Structure 1
Amino acid sequence: MSEFIDDAQFMSLFEEFEHTAWRWETRQGYDSDRQTEAYQRFLQGEDPDASAYRPWCMDVRRQTAQGKRIGRVRLVDAPPTPEQGYLLVTGWTNIEAGEDIRSLLRSDAAKLDLPMADFWLFDARTVLQLHFDDQDRYLGSEVVRTPGEVLRACQVRDTAWHHAVRCLEFGLRAPTIDRVPTGR
């Protein structure tokens, strides 16, 4: 049985997980990124000036200092969309904070028959399905704990993780990408 949750419940999942939080990120872009000044600077060829001290990164630091692991696999098109390029360029802030980010070409994910819907997986027992509209606007999330759905999310994680490449190495293996994160 699934349940839609509010923002407070959404955030509590990031506080309550015990061991691992893992994200499957499939969209070609996110409206929330497009609305930022950093993204607009990136589009103009300027340094997006991503902050390693924004709330997400501070939380990742705190959680990983407790021994928890946070990771994600992002799908990337060839060539990447502007939004994917932005995430590749700014991803170093999350990595520096302790998140393990990997990239997988969308074409490889399709060959592996992986789903094209975003979710978070917490401790291999709770799935948070993320819903977006056709303009990549976030609509809300639902918690799923049914064994079959959780098992499928674990299989997606294991398959994607095995085939994905660390974000900072991705540009070396995907020569169509002209902007890759270099760290600071």
Structure 2
Amino acid sequence: MSTWYCTTIRQATAAGKTVGRVRLLDDPPTDGQRYLLCNAERNAALGEDIRALSRSEAERLHLGDEDFWIFDSRLVARLLFTEADELTGVELITEPAQVVRYSRLRDAAWHHAAPH
């Protein structure tokens, strides 16, 4: 597949960059989570490291429920959703202490998550 995302991830990982995510899953997974899991095999073939962690385990570990991306260890994009799980915007965070806080959450989730 040759979408913008696929091309970008393939080029980034070929250049030696790391692309990974931890996906929190409900029990049972929602329709949206099942859809995203179907894409995990394709994304893994592009070089992305995808892991899964149950939402209940994330809650037990006090990891919160924020959905965010970290870029180059200096920019956090926190995704904002409605109660109906509709994306409404993105908050960009560059304040170093906050970036470190999100990095610690990511690292803890990564440690406990299972590879796809």
TM-score normalised per structure 2: 0.92
Give the corresponding residue for 1:136. 85
Give the corresponding residue for 2:10. 61
Cα RMSD (Å): 1.2
SS of 2:83's equivalent in the other structure is: coil
CA shift for structure 1 position 67: 0.9
Give the corresponding residue for 2:50. 101
Gaps of 5+ in 1: 1-51, 168-184
How many residue pairs were aligned?
Answer: 116
Structure (1/2) with the larger strand percentage: 2
Q: Which of 164, 170, 173 is the aligned partner of 2:113?
A: 164
**2:63 pairs with 1:121:** no
Q: Which of 90, 98, 109 is the aligned partner of 1:149?
A: 98
Whole-angstrom CA distance in 1 between matches of 2:31 and 2:77: 26
> Relative contact order: is structure 1 or structure 2 higher (C-alpha 8 Å, sep ≥ 6)?
1
Whole-angstrom CA distance in 2 between matches of 1:166 and 1:99: 11
Gaps of 5+ in 2: none
**2:37 pairs with 1:88:** yes
Whole-angstrom CA distance in 2 between matches of 1:109 and 1:57: 28
Whole-angstrom CA distance in 2 between matches of 1:125 and 1:59: 19
What is the letter of the counterpart of residue 94 of structure 2?
A: R
TM-score normalised per structure 1: 0.60
Whole-angstrom CA distance in 2 between matches of 1:78 and 1:136: 16
Whole-angstrom CA distance in 1 between matches of 2:36 and 2:84: 18
Query: Where does structure 1 differ by over 6 angstroms across 4 or more consecutive aligned residues?
Result: none
